[in-house]
């Protein structure tokens, strides 16, 4: 194995191991926050603060890595992840009213997530490492390693965490998931210290992650076909983020234990890996980007409605209305707790049956929209337009949990899923309208090629 391939393998191992830790913590955040007396709106901000820090610090880490090298930045990020996951585990041993340095446990949860978000915002640096160590012909395969690392992390992280939590829906937080996540990130740190080489060289391209800036936005909105695509990317990501981030809270409301919740997230990670790596990769060349995107939007809308149906009895149960009380308070009532646990056992297999529909939808719509966005931009504008698309996705991941938990705060436990389904129907309609507009423009181009020579048209793999 040559030096560059070995370096790529090491970066894959490091990113995958670090993401294992992230995937252990994610399904527990709203449950632990609830134990520490956070209301639904506060939980929304707790879930959003990690993505907010990543949005802010990814460009900063990228630019620092352009100056001092990729390796030091990745090492600092792993040190931070190891420390802050440890803080998460340590604070989970506290009682809800126990203070440390004058701060409540909920405040420490926020600090641990903010710190983990800053430390984990090194994905652009890992991508830059791949760019440094591959040729143009190998670049796609190299970047695919990062995607594969995500699949490994999000599938196996919850499975690793599951044995360290209980099957009791009313159980207090366990410190072990945080400690295990910290040890996993520490393992990645040790591998990086002893095995990760420096990739930065004179010909290295700058790390690509950046904030949404006005020059890129002007380039994007100057193209009529790009504007609706950016809107659909934001809406689709927002809808899925609402679902993904409120799911741990909803599953506890219907009586599922922390261990059940881990299995659900592992299942979602496995489905995403299978769908994106197999089915969707073959579907896009056959159906084309527009049809695949519309199919994905309709699937995701249907899946979200099915999830709302699974949890439909929440809307009529005043005892567990999120606007009125926390889960922690509800589970003090033995009669209500027994009813929740019975319902959780009944609904767990049903939820597992309906989840593939929504996951398939997201797996289809995301790459289709990204491909359409790329095809709608000229070769010289690819970086700027795709950068705006990435910024739209990042902003949606910040807004999603805030919007979803805001609906829970208002006493509408089904609305994150119903509103998400409505948003995806809007996406399907926008894509259908855009396809019709482009079909008409193509027909006009054929009839009068001189008239539309300057009009950009989104090419698709199949019309």
324 versus 183: which is more confidently predicted? 183
Residues 159 and 357: their CA atoms lie apart, in Å, by 22
The token pair at 116 is: 């983990």
Phi, psi for 133 (deg, rounded to 5): -105, 15
Count of CB atoms situated within 10 Å of the CB of 139: 12
406 versus 438: which is more confidently predicted? 406
pLDDT in tens, 349-387: 888 899 999 999 988 888 888 777 766 666 555 555 666
Judged by DSSP in three states, 100 sits in strand
Count of CB atoms situated within 10 Å of the CB of 243: 26
pLDDT over 60 at 317, yes or no: no
pLDDT for residue 143: 61
Residues 449 and 193: their CA atoms lie apart, in Å, by 59
- Nearest Cα neighbor of 263 from 178, 160, 176 is 160
Residues 116 and 77: their CA atoms lie apart, in Å, by 9
pLDDT in tens, 264-293: 989 998 888 888 767 877 787 788 888 888
- What is the number of residues in the chain? 463
pLDDT for residue 453: 46
Q: Name the most confidently modeled range: 71-80, 216-225, 336-345.
A: 71-80
pLDDT for residue 110: 93
Cβ–Cβ < 8 Å for 439, 301: no
- Fold match, 1-211 / 213-463: yes
Residues 429 and 99: their CA atoms lie apart, in Å, by 51
Residues 113 and 90: their CA atoms lie apart, in Å, by 13
pLDDT for residue 195: 85
Residues 265 and 165: their CA atoms lie apart, in Å, by 14
- Nearest Cα neighbor of 250 from 314, 206, 187 is 314
pLDDT for residue 452: 47
Task: Please state the rounded mean pLDDT for residues 440-446.
Answer: 63
Strands (E), 328-423: none
Domain extent listing, the chain? 1-211, 213-463
DSSP 73-100: HHHHHHHHHHHHHHHHHHHTTS-TT--B
The CA distances from residue 461 to 287, 288, 292, 370, 383, in Å, are 8, 5, 11, 13, 21
291 versus 127: which is more confidently predicted? 291
- Nearest Cα neighbor of 235 from 393, 52, 45 is 393
- Nearest Cα neighbor of 82 from 154, 158, 22, 122 is 22
Residues 462 and 278: their CA atoms lie apart, in Å, by 19
Task: Please state the rounded mean pLDDT for residues 39-48.
Answer: 87
Binned at pLDDT 50, 70 and 90, residue 454 comes out as: very low
The DSSP call for residue 103 is B
CATH of domain 1-211: 1.20.1250.20
103 versus 54: which is more confidently predicted? 103
pLDDT for residue 229: 82
Mean pLDDT of the chain: 78
- Residues 6 or more apart whose Cβ sits within 8 Å of residue 194: none
Q: State the architecture of 213-463 in CATH terms.
A: Up-down Bundle (1.20)
Provide the whole-model pTM. 0.77
- Residues 6 or more apart whose Cβ sits within 8 Å of residue 457: 225, 438, 441, 442, 445
């Amino acid at each position: 194995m040559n030096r560059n391939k070995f370096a790529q393998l090491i970066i894959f191992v490091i990113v995958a191991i670090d993401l294992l830790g992230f995937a252990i913590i994610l399904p527990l955040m709203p449950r632990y926050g609830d134990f520490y007396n956070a209301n639904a709106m506060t939980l929304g901000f707790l879930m959003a603060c990690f993505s907010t820090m990543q949005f802010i610090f990814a460009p900063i880490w990228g630019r620092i890595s352009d100056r001092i090298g990729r390796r030091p930045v990745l090492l600092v990020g792993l040190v931070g992840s190891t420390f802050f996951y440890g803080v998460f585990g340590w604070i989970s041993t506290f009682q809800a009213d126990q203070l440390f340095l004058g701060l409540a446990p909920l405040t420490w949860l926020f600090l641990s997530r903010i710190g983990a978000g800053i430390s984990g915002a090194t994905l652009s640096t890992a991508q830059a490492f791949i760019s440094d160590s591959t040729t143009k012909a190998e670049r796609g395969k190299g970047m695919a390693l990062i995607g594969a690392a995500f699949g490994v992390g999000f599938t196996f992280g919850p499975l690793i965490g599951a044995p360290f939590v209980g099957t009791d829906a009313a159980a207090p937080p366990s410190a072990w998931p945080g400690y295990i996540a910290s040890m996993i990130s520490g393992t990645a740190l040790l591998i990086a210290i002893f095995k990760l080489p420096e990739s930065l060289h004179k010909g290295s391209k700058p790390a690509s992650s950046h904030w949404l800036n006005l020059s890129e936005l002007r380039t994007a909105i100057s193209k009529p076909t790009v504007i609706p695509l950016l809107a659909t990317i934001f809406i689709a990501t927002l809808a899925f983020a609402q679902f993904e981030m409120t799911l741990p809270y909803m599953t506890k409301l219907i009586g599922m234990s922390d261990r059940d919740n881990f299995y659900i997230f592992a299942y979602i990670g496995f489905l995403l890996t299978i769908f994106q790596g197999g089915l969707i990769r073959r579907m896009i060349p056959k159906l084309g980007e527009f049809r695949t995107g519309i199919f994905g939007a309709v699937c995701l809308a249907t899946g979200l409605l099915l999830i709302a149906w699974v949890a439909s009895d929440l809307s009529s149960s005043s005892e567990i209305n999120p606007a009125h009380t926390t889960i922690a308070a509800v589970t003090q009532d033995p009669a209500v707790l027994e009813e929740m646990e019975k319902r959780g056992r009944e609904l767990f297999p049903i939820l597992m049956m309906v989840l593939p529909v929504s996951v398939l939808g997201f797996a289809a719509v995301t790459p289709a929209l990204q491909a359409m966005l790329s095809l709608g931009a000229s070769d010289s504008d690819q970086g700027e337009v795709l950068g705006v698309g990435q910024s739209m996705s990042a902003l949606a991941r910040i807004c999603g949990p805030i919007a979803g938990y805001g609906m829970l705060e208002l006493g509408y436990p089904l609305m994150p899923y119903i509103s998400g389904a409505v948003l995806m129907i809007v996406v399907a309609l926008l894509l259908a309208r855009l396809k019709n507009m482009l079909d008409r423009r193509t027909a006009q181009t054929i009839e009068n090629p001189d008239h539309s020579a300057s009009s950009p048209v989104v090419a698709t793999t199949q019309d």
